[in-house]
Amino acid sequence: MSLSVLSLIALLGGCSGDDHDDEHEGVPTQSTCPTGSTLSYESFGKGFMESYCTRCHSSTKTGSARQGAPVGHDFDSLAGILAVAEHIDEHAAAGPAGINTEMPPSDPRPSNEARYQLGEWLACEQLAR
């Protein structure tokens, strides 16, 4: 394969997460919601998603602007996030069972500390439902 074809493949895969086989997917983090957690959609989730995810995973993006993000995986609302919370956990969050770093595939990327907070926040949101 030529260098230009490889470069094109690398560029097109910038946000894609749907084409990976199961052995490359992360693990459920087994994150829990600690008593007294102060993480909420407004204080954490919304900003995290805007900083790292909605450049591809947004209801306002269509076609190639999604960079391969699956249709329906839109993280610009709490409802959209919760609809695929398990998927987010297995691709971007951290917890006792592991640190998932597949998403986002390019900079800017969250720190491991932010990934642990993501796992905690998702766990707390799911408890609240």
Least confident of 15-19, 39-43, 89-93, 109-113: 15-19
Query: Which two tokens mark 122?
Result: 């998702």
Question: Which structure tokens are listed for 97?
Answer: 């069972």
* The pairing of beta strand 94-95 with beta strand 98-99: antiparallel
Mean of the pLDDT values across residues 36-60? 98
Q: Give the CA count within 13 Å in the CB-facing half-sphere of 28.
A: 7
87 contacts 73 by C-beta, under 8 angstroms:
yes
Can you point out the beta strands (E) in the chain?
94-95, 98-99
Strands (E), 23-125: 94-95, 98-99
pTM score, whole prediction: 0.82
Mean pLDDT, range 82-111, rounded to an integer = 97
Q: Could you tell me how far CA 57 lies from the centroid of its own chain?
A: 9
The rounded distance, in Å, linking the Cα atoms of 112 and 114 is 5
Question: Mean pLDDT across the chain, nearest whole number?
Answer: 86
- In this prediction, residue 15 carries a pLDDT of 59
Query: Residue 21 contacts by C-beta under 8 Å, 6 or more apart in sequence?
Result: none
Number of domains forming the structure of the chain: 1
The contacts of residue 77 (CB under 8 Å, 6+ apart) are 59
- Residue 115's domain spans which residues? 3-128
